[in-house]
Structure formats: structure tokens, C-alpha cells
Amino acid sequence: MEKFILALDQGTTSSRAIVFNNDGKIVGVAQKEFTQIYPKPGWVEHDPLEIWESQIGVAREVLDKTGIKPEQIAAIGITNQRETTVVWDKTTGKPVYNAIVWQCRRTAPICDELKAKGLADSIREKTGLVIDAYFSGTKVKWILDNVEGVRERAENGEILFGNIDTWLIWNLSGGKVHVTDYSNASRTMLFNINTLEWDKEILSELNVPESMLPKALPSSYVYGYTAKEVFGVEIPIAGAAGDQQAALFGQACFKPGMAKNTYGTGCFMLMNTGEKLVHSNNGLLTTIAWGLDGKVEYALEGSIFIAGASVQWLRDELKVIETAAKSEELATSVPDSNGVYVVPAFVGMGAPYWDMYARGAVLGLTRGANRAHLVRATLESIAFQTRDVLEAMQEDSKIKLEELKVDGGAVANNFLMQFQSDILGVNVARPVITETTALGAAYLAGLAVGYWNGKEEIAKKWNVDVVFNPSMDEELKESKYAGWKKAVSRALKWENE
């Protein structure tokens, strides 16, 4: 009986289930978008039950579609939008509030207080992170402080916290297993990435009871089994990693200095730094890449909050394109952006600026500017933001990148990929399988149950599709980038001015 690995990829905008075979090839995919909830400007929520239902729905759908029986699934690997925070009742399994999404800015004032107390250095030292509303810690505090009765019940041990990996594993196991993996734990701002323990001082500062927290474990590990009622059989849940770390694994970036950039809702560049924990001097994060083979490895990360989401904004809010794919056609219908710059700081700006109060801006408009220029400038903004983080990464790591591996939904856009290569002056390599997030989760799960033997076997499965080579004139490249820097300076600190 042929066996497969089922990867569950719970992203910011959709839940996906992908079945992989032993060659690391896709056998089937099912996907479902779910509701984005914006209760106030700058606030973003998801319904945790909708997340679970959409995720289990696509898992069952992909098995139906492919005719693969649950008995043929050797293991399940989980990968997820990171930082998004769910708090639920231990007995009923019911969330006490909507999930507060990584993009949500509501806890900016709590972060300001932590900064005012002078905690930035110690938090960076312990967690590898900058103080920002992005991470889970202040989101948990917000729920405890604002949802009636929850703090008291949490103190009585009746309430659990988890990121989406934890929430899915809890539900898959029928409410038996409350765990997370090191890569997800490293995004909470509650976890000490040096000692691999929840940090008592930060917990006490944020007044978060330790009993709410999941047990942190390696990323390739049999956490438990699916409850009988989920698929009819017990399947090992054997891998979990935050989606960006999973993509680094799926791209086989196993050696220090290897980097990938994932273009989804946001854009996240990660560079493997091996067993060495590198602290950034240039606005990047230090994060756990994965726990595997009895050790953890680290990565430097440049987190860009809005990338593909800006294309969705063009489609859904401005309605200047019908589909995301149409953005390429429109962008290439004009020779350049006609001096227009879009700064998509819709939820503040992440690396390397870390400004929770920046807001979106369109600059350089003249009478001749049309929607094609606006669309082109929006795509270009994704590439400019990537240059911002690549420069910081090269500075921190002292490594000059020769090639950037790319993946995620927006890499289908050839204009964007060519412009990216041009503006970086670096080769951009798009692999055959761009679903590297799910693939990474599948590999981590497969390794835990002996479906694959090790990283060497996996590295051989990586195949390139296209390499985009830089071809833009140096002077033009630098003048375009200088325009971007100027545009960003106008968008920063907008909200509190």
C-alpha cells in the first residue's frame, strides 16, 4: 500500500491541505479561503472555529479527491500563519474570543509601555524579537485584560493559549494534546530562544499565567495521534513549524547562509544561521528555524507585513484588477511606474523599520498617472521592501547573497520576479514546487516517522524552474530605490502625528 504525507497549511487568508508522495511531489491540493474580520481600523481577527472547520474540511476534501485512504497517510505535518493568538476553554474547547491575527495593531499601546520601561534590550536578548504588536505575548495579555472573567479562569488553570499550530493539534487530537514547536514558540515574545523555555520574567511582566502555555517540543516529533472521529483512524501528528520556517526547510536551505523569500500575504526572508544565534544590528529578528535531530537551528528574519495583500487590496478594495494574476498584465502594459510609489504600510511597517504607526501612502502622482502605474507601483513596492531586508541581512550576516530562492503565491508573477532580480542585483531562483511551506511541514513530519531518511535525501529533491537574472542599468536601479526610501520616509509615524 503506497503511503503519503498530508500537510496542513493554515495561512492568513486560506486553509490548504496538500498530499505529497515519497518523491516530494504534490499528489493533490484542496484550499478554502475564510473570513477576515476587521472590527476597527488596524484590528484584524479570525474565527478560530472557522479556521478549524475550513482546515479539516480541506483535509477530508483532498483525500476524497485523490482517492487516498486515511490508512495511507503515514503522518500529518502542520504549518501555520504564525503569532496569531487563540485562547480557549480547556473543558469545552470553545474559544473565549476571536483569534487576534499577527497583523493586528491593537496592542501597540502595551508595546509602548514595555518600551518605556526600558525592556527592549532584554526582550531582544531573550526572545530574538523587537517589541511589536506583531507577536503573540501582548495579544494574550489583551484577551486576559479585556474579555470578562477570562483572567480569573486562566489563573485557575481552566484556559489555554496557543498559536494556530497548537489550536489545530489540540482539535486533531480530540482535545488531548497541548503542544507547540520551537519555531512557533519563538514568535510569541514569551519564549527564551537561548534556553528553550518560557520566560518567567516576561510572563510576569505581561501577567500571563504559565499554566495556559503549551509544551514546546521539536518541529519533527510525534506529538500525538488524530482522534478516531477525525479521519476514522489514528494518524501520527508528526511535524509542526511556523509557515516561514517550514518554507525555509521546504526550500532545503539547510546550510548557514542559505536564504529564501516567501511572497504570500506578507513577505518573509529567512536566512539559515545554523546552530549560531545571530543578533541583528539592522532591524531583523532572530528566530528558531526548527528543532530537529536533538538540536535547534536559528535563522535571521526580515518580516514584511504586506506583500500579496497589497494585490488583494487592488482587487478587492480599489477594484482596479479582477484577479491577482491580472496585475502582471497591467503592470507590463506601461514601461515604468511613471514616478508613482505605493507604500503599503496598511498595518504599520515591519523589518527593518518597525513602526507600528506607519500607514499606507501613494506618492508621486501626476496628471498622467493611471491605474496601470498604480498597479505596477504596488508590485514594485514588494520588491523594494525585499531589498530593504536583504540589505539588512547582508549587513548582519556579512554574507553577500548570490542567489535568492523564492516561493509563495505571488511568485507566479513574472514581472515581479524580474523586477525583484533587477532591484536586488541578485539572481532569483523559483523552484518547480512553490508550495514549499506545505512541503517543509511534510518533510518534518515524514522525517519523524522514518518516511524520509534525512536532510541529504530531501536536499536532492529541490529542483529549479526559472532563474531570473538582473538586467537593469545600475544608475536606474539606484535612482528607483532612492525614490522608494524617500516615499517610505513620508509614511512613517503617520498615525500618531
Ligand X SMILES: O=P(O)(O)OC[C@H](O)CO
Q: Which residues are annotated as a binding site for ADP?
A: 12, 16, 265, 308, 409, 413
Burial annotation 275-309 (CB, 10 A radius, 16+ → b, else e): eebbebebbbbbbbbbbbeeebbbbbbbbbbbbbb
Partner whose footprint covers residue 311, from ligand X, ligand ADP, none (CB < 5 to 8 Å by kind): ligand ADP
* Interface with ligand X, residue 135, by CB under 6 A: no
Please give the Cα distance from 176 to 92 (Å, whole number): 12
Cβ contacts of 82 within 8 Å, gap of 6 or more? 102, 163, 164, 184, 187, 242, 243, 244
CB of 207 to ligand ADP, least distance (A): 32
* Interface with ligand ADP, residue 327, by CB under 6 A: yes
Segment contacting ligand X (CB under 6 A): 80-88, 141-149, 200-208, 218-226?
80-88
Please give the Cα distance from 304 to 54 (Å, whole number): 26
CB of 140 to ligand X, least distance (A): 16
Please give the Cα distance from 307 to 402 (Å, whole number): 23
383's grid cell: 520588491
- The amino acid occupying position 63 is L
Question: Alpha-carbon Rg of the chain, whole angstroms?
Answer: 22
Segment contacting ligand ADP (CB under 6 A): 98-106, 205-213, 287-295, 404-412?
404-412
Partner whose footprint covers residue 413, from ligand X, ligand ADP, none (CB < 5 to 8 Å by kind): ligand ADP
CB of 301 to ligand X, least distance (A): 9
Please give the Cα distance from 478 to 497 (Å, whole number): 30
Figure out which of the listed residues 28, 242, 302, 360 binds ligand X, where binding follows CB under 6 A. Answer: 242
Helix-then-strand count for the chain, H and E: 17, 23
* Interface with ligand X, residue 264, by CB under 6 A: yes
CB of 475 to ligand ADP, least distance (A): 28
Specify the residue, 29 or 488, whose C-beta has the smaller distance to ligand ADP: 29
What is the residue whose three cell numbers read 512553490?
434
From the list 353, 332, 420, the residue with the least C-alpha distance to 383 is 420
* Interface with ligand X, residue 243, by CB under 6 A: yes
* Interface with ligand X, residue 301, by CB under 6 A: no
Give the annotated binding-site residues for sn-glycerol 3-phosphate. Answer: 12, 82-83, 134, 243
* Interface with ligand X, residue 344, by CB under 6 A: no
Figure out which of the listed residues 95, 162, 239, 266 binds ligand X, where binding follows CB under 6 A. Answer: 266
Figure out which of the listed residues 5, 6, 12, 284 binds ligand ADP, where binding follows CB under 6 A. Answer: 12
Segment contacting ligand ADP (CB under 6 A): 148-156, 234-242, 319-327, 443-451?
319-327
Segment contacting ligand X (CB under 6 A): 146-154, 173-181, 260-268, 483-491?
260-268
Figure out which of the listed residues 309, 349, 383, 444 binds ligand ADP, where binding follows CB under 6 A. Answer: 309
- The amino acid occupying position 451 is Y
Contact mark string toward ligand ADP, 328..357, x via CB under 6 A:
x-----------------------------
From the list 207, 192, 290, the residue with the least C-alpha distance to 241 is 290
Q: Are 79 and 55 in contact (CB under 8 A)?
A: no
Figure out which of the listed residues 408, 431, 446, 483 binds ligand ADP, where binding follows CB under 6 A. Answer: 408
DSSP symbols for 41-80: TT--EE-HHHHHHHHHHHHHHHHHHHT--GGGEEEEEEEE
From the list 224, 213, 181, 222, the residue with the least C-alpha distance to 79 is 181
CB of 325 to ligand ADP, least distance (A): 4
* Interface with ligand X, residue 260, by CB under 6 A: no
What number of chain residues touch ligand ADP (CB under 6 A)? 19
| DSSP category for residue 39 | S
Residues that bind ligand X (CB under 6 A): 11-12, 81-83, 102, 242-244, 264-266
